[in-house]
Structure 1
Amino acid sequence: MTDFPSSKYERGKIIAKTGIKIGTNYAQRYIKKKVNKKESSGTDSEFHSENAKEVFKEFTKLRGTALKIAQGMSMDQGFLPEEFADVMSQAQYSVPPINKALVRSILKKELGAYPEQLFQSFESEAFAAASIGQVHKAVLKDGRKVAIKIQYPNVRETIDSDLALAKTLAKRLVKKGSDIDPYFEEIRSTLLDETDYRREGRQIDLFHSRFSNLDISIPEWVEEYSTERVLCMTYLEGRHLGEFLKEDPTPEQRDHFGQLLWDFFHEQILDNDYIHADTHPGNFLFTYDDKLGVIDFGCVKKFPEVFFRNYLNLLPTHLENDDKSIRDLYEKLGVIKPGSEPGDQEQVYFDFAKNYGMTFAEPYRNDVFDFGDPDFDKTIRHFTKDAPLSNEPRGNEHFIYTTRVHVGLYNLLIKLGARINTTRSKEILSEILDVEFQPA
């Protein structure tokens, strides 16, 4: 009793059909615009939105890995038309839910009883639904309000088939002999972790103990009502970024929540422990008592120490504009090939990565930085669109998730238009890296 195709053939057919349809739409659009050059940009916007909606509709049927891709599209900073990011943001918490009978069946299988026997009350309508599960409000028999996350059927079983299909497609595009296995294994292991709700429960406990003393609200894991595919946690009141912005918040409110986001991620670095690596609006709440709520801990990463130290060291070397040290780090991190020299064929990758890195280092140049500056947003989008095309993978596989954290954070702050004080974050980085940040 399931709404989802789970075989490799069924899922591959949907992905192929979607790709062909969207590709044909864009090809026809290109020809039409060549013939009629008076098409307006407004029509362009509508065209991109309709195609994005088509992709989202088909990916919704697949859920799982496919919707994880859609979530990635929602954080895009320039590779895709902006309309794709707007539509795909629905993949963060507004996916059509599974039917009520299936929800009851899953709870009976996982927890041994139907919801009316387990809880004082249970809302059969999901209030949030995303890539691998949907969330229902409930009240425990002891009176605690909780959120019950229920995993969609067959999600775990489809990860390998989805990634196998993606890998087959990728091998047609990359340079012959390129090793793409580490990238796919990194994604696979992370997705498998995300489907283990007991693991997520333990991460909730860990983050609750680490951050509950700050202005950060972390739910509590309710282990006795949790399994590998059902997760119970205390319920947090708040609103997501889109809802918050519709309230027309004051600059002070924007700055306040932006500062909490900025500080949360830098405090994680200080602990040298697991880092929340799923930085999209659906995973954060702006609570009514002015705290930052963090509500999803499926994708948390503990990066290898050597890699992560080299990654962090990119910041001071870019601020110092130290080409030799930057080049050395890029080689260690796999961005450019070993033994490269200034002016050789690797120079185009070096120049792009350095300029992009300089942009991401910009907030640390002063004690206060304004993410609401439209020029900063344009600069990030410019470098994203101007990325050198290559048919060979570049960069360590762990960049997949460090980039997700970094780009996701900046994207949230840009949407907030927040002014951030960077003093504490520079103190943390100085302590970890044993460097001094020079006054602007």
Structure 2
Amino acid sequence: MSDFPSSKYERGKIIAKTGLKVGTNYAQRYLKNKVSGKVEDERSFHQENAKEVFKEFTKLRGTALKIAQGMSMDQGILPDEFAEVMSQAQYSVPPINKALIRSIIKRELGGYPEQLFATFDATAFAAASIGQVHKAELKDGRRVAIKIQYPNVRDTIDSDLVMAKGFAKRLVKKGSNIDPYFDEIRDTLLLETDYLHEGQQIEHFSKRFTHINVVTPQWIEEYSTSKVLCMTFLDGRHLNEFIAENPTQEQRNHFGQLLWDFFHEQIIDHDYIHADTHPGNFLFMNDGRLGVIDFGCVKKFPVKFFRDYLELLPTHLKNDDAAIRSLFERLEVLKQNSSDGDTDQPYFEFAKNYGLTFSRPYTQEVFDFGDPEFDNTIRHFTKDAPLSNEPRGNKHFIYTTKVHVGLYNLLIKLKAQINTEKSKNILSKLLDISF
């Protein structure tokens, strides 16, 4: 019993149909504007096409909606209207039917919701790419959130990635090895569909972050399985709801600082990193704490790679081209001995300047992420990235970039002013440098 297509053929058909329809829409609009000499309202056009993509991806859930989440964090490649529509994939996907939810709980926990819980709200209050979340109350009075995984999501990961890899191989240079990148994504997605692993990570992060104003749920193991996750309920607002309240600059700075500090606290002891930095995974709580509510996508990066990744900051701040080039070669952004020719020079210049932009907050005691010039600079680099038919960068960049770009995206939307002193002290000790 399932609401979703699970075969490779069914899913491929939906993806192909969606791509053809949206592509045709853009081609027809281009020709119409050329003939008439008029430019129609771009905002509504982009929104309607984004809604079409989102509607079809919603049928597929899983990997497809993970792609939609990535679109929602875009910093310049796609029209802003696409990112706005795709942000729904972070926490407000249409839920599956209530009868199916009852059957999943019965199969996984051995009883129907009314038998297991004092109360259970059959209407989901949040839904995203892999599962949806319901409010409930345990018989001992604790308020909990029950996350229920959509049927067949885990089974479709391989078929979805096979399709995606097939498309990618048509675009990349013949002989390029893209397998490590897809293996990294596959391994991470499989872990995200293991709710027992997520429960263990909730416990792990809860113990690590008791000393700062960051709070996580508590895992309720006895009401959890690999496909049902029970955790204590956190009450707060997501980013868009918080911004809609027209918060003061002080409130924006407060939560922005917590996000910034949470990111830097994670790297102190080379432990797991929360690698899904998008608005749906954070709550702005009324008591001033920052809630972190999803721990499906966590990463522990190899020591050598992570050290090199962190070294990007001081190396860029020194603005030493030779040292930057050497580091890029170690991180596989550039080919080894790339200085022997000029083939890689466009990538070197782009990566260096992009790195300089990302290092700017560390050059000031207080950095204003609300400065539109900074936002425009990041968007400029994203749009002007040199095209390549070769995969570049170590496979672990997939998730370090997701963390770092996601953080900056959140802070830009918050228009937060961040004190960087504490973060620079952390990095100084880790890298034995001074700012």
Residue 32 of structure 1 and its aligned partner are, at CA, apart by 1.4
Residue 343 of structure 1 and its aligned partner are, at CA, apart by 6.2
**Aligned AA for 1:350?**
F
1:25 corresponds to: 25
- Identify which range, 359-368 or 343-352, moves more after superposition: 343-352
410, 413, 421: which one aligns with 1:412: 410
1:345 corresponds to: 343
2:74 corresponds to: 76
2:369 corresponds to: 371
What are the superposed Cα offsets for residues 343-366 of structure 1, whole Å, 9 maximum, x if unpaired?
A: 611100000000000000000001
Residue 232 of structure 1 and its aligned partner are, at CA, apart by 0.3
Residue 417 of structure 1 and its aligned partner are, at CA, apart by 0.1
2:87 corresponds to: 89
5+ long unaligned stretches in structure 1:
none
Aligned partners of 2:243 and 2:4: how far apart in 1? 34
2:248 corresponds to: 250
Residue 217 of structure 1 and its aligned partner are, at CA, apart by 1.1
1:118 corresponds to: 116
**Aligned AA for 1:69?**
I
291, 294, 297: which one aligns with 1:296: 294
Aligned partners of 2:264 and 2:32: how far apart in 1? 49
**Aligned AA for 2:419?**
N
Aligned partners of 2:30 and 2:304: how far apart in 1? 47
- 1:212–1:218 CA contact under 8 A, matched in 2: no
391, 397, 406: which one aligns with 1:399: 397
Q: TM-score scaled to structure 2, two decimals? A: 0.99
Q: Percent identity among equivalent residues? A: 75
131, 134, 149: which one aligns with 2:132: 134
**Aligned AA for 1:9?**
Y
2:353 corresponds to: 355
Residue 342 of structure 1 and its aligned partner are, at CA, apart by 7.2
2:421 corresponds to: 423
Is 2:270 aligned against 1:272? yes
Aligned partners of 1:339 and 1:361: how far apart in 2? 25
Residue 37 of structure 1 and its aligned partner are, at CA, apart by 2.7
142, 149, 164: which one aligns with 1:166: 164
Aligned partners of 1:428 and 1:342: how far apart in 2? 37
Aligned partners of 1:403 and 1:309: how far apart in 2? 15
5+ long unaligned stretches in structure 2:
none
What are the superposed Cα offsets for residues 368-391 of structure 1, whole Å, 9 maximum, x if unpaired?
A: 100000000000000000000011
Aligned partners of 1:63 and 1:254: how far apart in 2? 33
Q: TM-score scaled to structure 1, two decimals? A: 0.98
State the Cα RMSD in Å: 0.7
188, 200, 206: which one aligns with 1:202: 200
SS at match of 1:257: helix
SS at match of 2:267: helix
Aligned partners of 1:377 and 1:286: how far apart in 2? 23
**Aligned AA for 2:377?**
T
Aligned partners of 2:228 and 2:323: how far apart in 1? 48
Aligned partners of 1:75 and 1:123: how far apart in 2? 31
- 1:121–1:138 CA contact under 8 A, matched in 2: yes
254, 257, 260: which one aligns with 1:259: 257
1:216 corresponds to: 214
Aligned partners of 1:75 and 1:23: how far apart in 2? 22
Aligned partners of 1:142 and 1:344: how far apart in 2? 68
Q: Runs in 1 of length 4+ with deviation above 2 angstroms?
A: none
Aligned partners of 2:122 and 2:53: how far apart in 1? 28
Is 2:16 aligned against 1:16? yes
Aligned partners of 1:21 and 1:308: how far apart in 2? 42
Q: Give aligned pairs, total.
A: 435
Residue 218 of structure 1 and its aligned partner are, at CA, apart by 0.7
373, 376, 385: which one aligns with 1:387: 385
SS at match of 1:269: coil
2:232 corresponds to: 234
308, 311, 318: which one aligns with 1:310: 308
2:6 corresponds to: 6
**Aligned AA for 1:222?**
I
- 1:371–1:413 CA contact under 8 A, matched in 2: yes
Aligned partners of 2:200 and 2:407: how far apart in 1? 24
256, 275, 279: which one aligns with 1:281: 279
